[in-house]
Structure 1
Amino acid sequence: MRRAVIFDLDGTLVDSAADIQAAVNRMLAEEQRAPLDLAQVTRFIGNGLPRLVERVMAVSDLAPEQHGRLTAVVLAHYNAGGTALTRPYPGVMQALTVLAARGHVLGVCTNKPEGAARAVLTDLGLMPLFQAVVGGDRLAVTKPDPAPLRLCAEELEADEVAFVGDSEVDAATSEAAGVPFLLFTEGYRKGPVEAMPHRAAFADFHGLPGLLLRGEAGEDAAART
Structure 2
Amino acid sequence: MSGVIFDLDGTLIDSAPDIHRCAALMLADEGLDPLTLPQIRSFIGNGAPVLVRRVMAAVALPDDPALHARLLARFLEHYETAVTLTRLYDGVAACLEDLAAAGRPVGLCTNKPIGPTRAVLAHFGLAQHFPTVIGGDSLPQRKPDPAPLLACLREMGCGKAVFVGDSEVDAECAARAGMDFALFTEGYRKAPVDTLPHAFAFSHHGELEGWLREYTFIS
Q: Give the TM-score range, shorter chain.
A: over 0.9
How do residues 56-95 of structure 1 correspond to structure 2 at under 5 angstroms? 56-65=55-64, 66-80=67-81, 82-95=82-95
Distance 1:79 1:130 in 2: 19
Shift of 1:100: 1.1
Question: Matched residues, percent identical?
Answer: 51
* Amino acid paired to 1:28: L
Matches within 5 A, 1:134-213: 134-213=134-213
Q: Return 8-17 or 206-215, whichever deviates more.
A: 206-215
Q: Post-superposition shift, 1:191?
A: 1.0
Which residue does the alignment assign to 2:4? 5
1-side partners of 2:33 and 2:54: how far apart? 14
Unaligned runs of 5+ in 2: none
Cα distance in 2, alignment partners of residues 64 and 74 from structure 1:
16
Shift of 1:63: 2.8
Moved more, 62-71 or 203-212: 62-71
Name the residue aligned to 2:49.
Answer: 50
CA offsets, 1:186-205, max 9 Å, x none?
00001100110000100010
Separation in structure 2 between the aligned mates of residue 83 and residue 140 of structure 1, nearest angstrom:
25
Q: How many residues align?
A: 216
Shift, 1:131, TM fit: 1.4
**3-state SS, counterpart of residue 5 of structure 1:** strand
In 2: Cα distance, 1:140 partner to 1:87 partner? 29
* Structure 1 runs not aligned, ≥5 long: none
Deviation per CA, 1:7-34, whole angstroms, max 9, x where unpaired? 0000000000000000000011111112
Tell me the amino acid that sits aligned with residue 146 of structure 1. P
> What is the Cα deviation at residue 163 of structure 1?
0.3
Q: CA separation in 1, counterparts of 2:2 and 2:161?
A: 6
Per-residue Cα deviation, 1:119-160 (whole angstroms, up to 9, x for no partner): 111111111111100001111110001000000011110121
Rounded to whole Å, the distance in 2 between the matches of 1:58 and 1:173 is 25
TM-score (norm. length: structure 1): 0.94
Q: Deviations over 1:87-118 (max 9, x none)?
A: 11010000011011101111110001111111
Amino acid at match of 1:21: H
Question: How far apart, CA to CA, are the structure 2 residues paired with 1:138 and 1:107?
Answer: 14
| 3-state SS of paired residue (2:94) | helix
Letter in 2 for 1:60: V
User: Cα offset for 1:177?
Assistant: 0.5
**Per-residue CA distance 1:142-187 (angstroms, 9 max, x = gap):** 0001000000011110121110000000000000001100000000
User: What is the one-letter code of the residue matched to 1:188?
Assistant: Y
1:109 aligned residue: 109
Distance, in Å, in 2 between the alignment partners of 1:173 and 1:55 is: 21
